[in-house]
């Protein structure tokens, strides 16, 4: 008879403690806030699901959510294909590859708020290169006044900042394909398109999944750049979810609704990631029938 000693479980205690303080306790605090009305630091009332109901009926929130979804989908729709395209065009080795990698990665090294500031100046009509150039070309570009301009600027800024991440992931995926596949494709007489469709794309599946999930989560939580660039305006054209949330929680100290909304936000991200992950796991592997 074998005796089992369960004391080994104690070894995971440090991890449990760390995770408890870094994730579980804060999350539980939020859960706690979301079901109470905090009148003062010493006085609170249990309100059940009331905050959730309020938040779900909030028209501003619906607007922010719609903007957010549209933004994230636009980010994925542009950054993923663009990243693949750039990765395909990059040299495979030698000093050219190193140079290209360094140049491509530069935007990734810049802090979020600096990115916002860079684009804020870049887009100004009086001293900004892009703003001045666009206005000189006859377009009336003004990201402070025109909501479409503001929106496009945030989108282009995100593409500039984060497409390099997709490029790096795809590039790594492409380099991992053994030469024999390309040689076999040449023997089989495959066209360039067929090589992409049947070799490169399937082999990049795993890195693409990481890229899609990362870009979705990151763009869905975008905060600093639009905050610095437009402050959410004009109107609330570029007020995305996290900014809306911050306004509620920090600006108005509505901790209850803000907490309730945080939880909903969390669940939305979880749901989307799960759906994307499941879909990408299936696509191209399930039997064709």
Partner 1 sequence: MARIDLIELGHAYRPNPTAPGDFALQPMTRTWDDGGAYALLGPSGCGKTTLLNIISGLVKPSHGRVLFDGRDVTQLPTEARNIAQVFQFPVIYDTMTVFDNLAFPLRNRGWKESQTRVRVHQVADMLELTSDLKHRASGLSVDAKQKISLGRGLVRPDVAAVLFDEPLTVIDPHLKWLLRRKLKEIHHELKLSLIYVTHDQVEALTFADQVVVMTQGEVVQTGSAQTLFEEPAHTFVGYFIGNPGMNLLPCSVQDGAAWVGGHALALSGAASAALAGAGGKVSLGVRPEFVECVADADAGGDLAAGGDTVPATVLSVRNMGTHFLAEFRLGEHRVAAKLRAIEAAAGSTVRLRFPQQRTLYYVDDQRVA
Q: Tell me the Cα Rg of the chain.
A: 24
Number of residues that bind partner 1 (CB under 8 A): 21
Q: At closest approach, how far in Å is the CB of 208 from partner 1?
A: 13
Asked whether position 281 contacts partner 1 by CB under 8 A, the answer is no
**In sequence order, what are the beta bridge partners of 44?**
38
Closer to partner 1 by Cβ: residue 3 or 191: 191
Q: Which is nearer to partner 1, 106 or 187 (CB)?
A: 187
Residue 280 binds partner 1, judged by CB under 8 A: no
Instruction: Say if CB 230 and CB 143 are below 8 A apart.
Output: yes
Q: Which stretch binds partner 1 (CB under 8 A): 54-62, 112-120, 190-198, 211-219?
A: 190-198
Residue 181 binds partner 1 (CB under 8 A): yes
- Binding residue for partner 1, selected from 42, 94, 178, 282, defined by CB under 8 A: 178
Instruction: Decide: is 191 part of the binding site for partner 1 (CB under 8 A).
Output: yes
Footprint on residues 198-237 left by partner 1 (CB under 8 A): 198-199, 202-203
Pick 152 or 195: Cβ nearer partner 1: 195
The pattern of x and - marking residues 142 through 161 that bind partner 1 according to CB under 8 A reads --------------------
Does 180 help bind partner 1 (rule: CB under 8 A)?
A: yes
Closest separation in Å from C-beta 186 to partner 1: 4
Q: Are 80 and 86 in contact (CB under 8 A)?
A: no
| Contact flag: residue 189 with partner 1 (CB under 8 A) | yes
User: 7 vs 289, which CB is nearer to partner 1?
Assistant: 289
- Could you tell me which stretch among 116-124, 164-172, 191-199, 229-237 binds partner 1 (CB under 8 A)? 191-199
Q: Is 193 in the site for partner 1 (CB under 8 A)?
A: no
Return residues touching partner 1 (CB under 8 A): 178, 180-181, 183-184, 186-191, 194, 198-199, 202-203, 284-285, 287-289
């Amino acid at each position: 008879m074998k005796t089992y000693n369960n004391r080994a479980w104690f070894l995971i205690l440090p991890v449990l403690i760390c995770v408890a303080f870094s994730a579980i306790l804060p999350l539980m605090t939020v859960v706690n806030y979301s079901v109470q009305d905090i009148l003062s630091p010493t006085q609170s009332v249990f309100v059940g699901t009331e905050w959730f109901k309020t938040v779900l009926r909030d028209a501003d929130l619906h607007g922010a959510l719609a903007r957010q979804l549209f933004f994230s989908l636009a980010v994925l729709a542009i950054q993923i294909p663009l990243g693949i395209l750039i990765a395909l065009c990059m040299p495979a080795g030698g000093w050219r590859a190193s140079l290209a990698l360094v140049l491509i990665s530069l935007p990734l090294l810049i802090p979020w708020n600096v990115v916002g500031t860079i684009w804020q100046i870049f887009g100004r009509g009086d001293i900004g290169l892009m703003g001045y150039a666009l206005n000189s070309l006859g377009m009336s570009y003004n990201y402070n006044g025109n909501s479409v301009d503001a929106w496009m600027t945030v989108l282009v800024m995100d593409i500039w900042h984060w497409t390099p991440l997709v490029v790096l992931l795809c590039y790594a995926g492409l380099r991992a394909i053994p030469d024999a596949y390309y040689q076999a494709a040449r023997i089989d007489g495959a066209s360039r398109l067929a090589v992409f469709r049947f070799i490169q794309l399937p082999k990049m599946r795993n890195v693409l999944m990481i890229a899609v999930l990362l870009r979705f989560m990151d763009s869905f939580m975008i905060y600093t750049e639009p905050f610095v660039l437009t402050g959410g305006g004009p109107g609330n054209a570029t007020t995305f979810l996290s900014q809306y949330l911050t306004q509620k929680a920090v600006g108005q100290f509505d901790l209850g609704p803000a907490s309730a909304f945080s939880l909903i936000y969390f669940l939305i991200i979880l749901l989307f990631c799960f759906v994307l992950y499941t879909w990408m796991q299936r696509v191209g592997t399930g039997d064709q029938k």
